[in-house]
Each structure stands twice: as structure tokens, then as C-alpha cells.
Structure 1
Amino acid sequence: MPMPNRAVPASWQIQSDDWEYVPIKLPPDVTRVTASMRLAISAEFGGWELSRVRLYTDGSRRVLLKRRKTAQHVPDPEL
């Protein structure tokens, strides 16, 4: 599974006092169904919500997940 990639498109705002964000890059060989399942698992067990998705012509995707900040630290998803 790919690790979170910290580079995000310039138009994506990832600074907030209330939300924490994690950008993820999914390679072109990951199908839409597989990507959906991976993101659903992150949502279910990590409390992440889908914020943005950008699909590139080569088939890769950049995904931005968000969740409310809490006092308790939960690790970033490792998709």
C-alpha cells in the first residue's frame, strides 16, 4: 500500500485550526473500486472523511482526507 504523499495541488487548502488533513497519492494501477474500499476503511477505523479527489490523465489519483482535530493522536492512514 502506498504511503501518504505530502505534496498537494496548490489550490488545496490544508491549514485549519479545527481539521487535520492527510494527502494520499493512489497509483494508476489502483482501480476505482479498490480505492473506494481503501478510503472506506480509513473512514471507518480512523475517522477520516473525503475532502477532495483529483484524477490525473495517467490514472493516478490525489486524495485529501480530513478529520476533526482531537486531543488524542491517531496515526495517519497507510493506504
Structure 2
Amino acid sequence: MGGAAALAAAARPLPWSKDTAAQVRAVADALTVSPVALDTDALASRVTARGPWRKRLPQLLGMLVALGRAREQGGRYTNQ
């Protein structure tokens, strides 16, 4: 995905599902389209949901790192 298209996709708000697999996929997709590494606050700012969902974000990122789908460096995450 090139320049302007990547920025537009990265700026789109993420819907938040109650399904864990869909949550992992949404976080992975956000990392994939982002042209820069993201911290949890940057990821959270893209989600449209309300409530305690934000507590799960570090766990979901940990899953992606463990599966080799994301890399963490200095509290920021990128797509592998």
C-alpha cells in the first residue's frame, strides 16, 4: 500500500468486536496499514468502542508478538 492510501487506511477508526479473534485481527490490521510504529495509546485512539476494552490491548499485542505477527521495540509495535 503506498503513501496516501496507507495514511488514509491508518486513520480509519477500528470497530471493536466482542470476539477475541476479531480483536486480534483488528489490531494486526491496524499495525499492517500504519506507516509508523504505534504505542498502545495510538492504537487505542483509533478504536470506536467504549468501555473496558482498552485493558485487553496489551494482551492482544502480546499475542501478536508471540505469534510473530508483530514486533515490540521501546513500547511501540510494528507489523512483522
TM bucket, shorter chain = 0.3 to 0.5
TM value normalised by structure 1 = 0.33
Higher strand share: 1
- Structure of greater Rg: 1
